[in-house]
Copies of this chain bind each other. A is one copy, B any other.
């Protein structure tokens, strides 16, 4: 089987840091081995630093980002609990689906694809919701939703935030912004392959846990007996050892470079990419002032496509001729928008230069 490498400039995964792939080579040890518990504790402490939180219950869920979404919802929502959900893309939609499967009463607050959610609209949607849920960085549109104002006005509600594409890439302060539950993914701005979902849970959210969540695998109260606490750790499920090695290493790279430096690197790449695209006749899709640097969405200028060539053809050519992956649009903007990521180890100027150069060779 042909197995070339790629410059991963889609909506995720990005390229992992070389140190992360090295970490996969570590000998596997048991999930109850004291040395592994030590490494897990260190991983969780690194996650706290990257999440900017002191929440004791901070750990990687043993599955990908969407399982982190499900985990945060099922632990605090039971039948008829009210949840307000901001929807301006695929992942807000997914939140509604997940919440409705908990039997919750879902109140949607929609914004157009490409636009940001008005924080006040979320706060006004219901007088006393149990949960207000919103996506920080919408991977389907490249839009950043404001979180801090929701935390300020949330009252007794729990604030649940999707940080899959934001963690590590743009400023995010769990404690200062009043976020109660957050989940992320490893394959975006942390520079680790997909496979885990870092989560963090505030004491207030723990007080709001439902009695016996419908998911056994994602039951935070049971998992807490393994991932936190002192000398004795109760077996819940077998931890994905090698993926935790990888996450541990990726977080190490981020913290060694410095979280704000890593964010600045993402910002600089995004700025250059967006500038370069505009110069080439692309129209940026995300609302100004809410554009993610790590994930750029842009309307493909049809007048720059060679005759008889679709935007999908260009993406295929980028992949086959240059080994560059970029993403197409989803939902209402499928076939019109490209989504270009600069995340993790991909967030290097040279990759922006390469992609723009390749486009100059392909487009007319």
Contact = CB atoms under 8 A, between A and B. Distances in A.
Interface stretch (A62-70, A145-153, A267-275): A62-70
Interface stretch (A31-39, A45-53, A111-119, A294-302): A31-39
B194 A238 contact: yes
Name which of A13, A38, A212, A238 has the most chain B CB atoms within 10 A of its CB.
A238
A2 interface: yes
A86 interface: no
A26 B10 contact: no
A225 interface: no
Given A194-B241, A195-B240, A8 B28 contact: yes
Interface in A94-133: 94, 97-98, 101-102
Contacts of A66: 216-217, 236-238
A142 interface: no
A238 B64 contact: yes
Contact of A13 (B1, B30, B98, B237): B30
Nearest to A235: B330
A81 B361 CA distance: 60
A17 to B, nearest CB: 11
A6 B33 contact: yes
A214 interface: yes
A237 B65 contact: yes
Given A24-B242, A97-B216, 12 more contacts: A3-B29, A4-B27, A6-B28, A10-B32, A13-B241, A31-B194, A62-B63, A67-B237, A185-B238, A194-B239, A194-B240, A243-B243
23 contacts: A1-B35, A3-B27, A3-B35, A10-B32, A24-B242, A28-B193, A33-B319, A62-B195, A63-B63, A64-B239, A65-B237, A66-B238, A67-B217, A67-B237, A70-B215, A101-B213, A185-B238, A187-B238, A187-B241, A193-B240, A194-B242, A195-B243, A243-B243
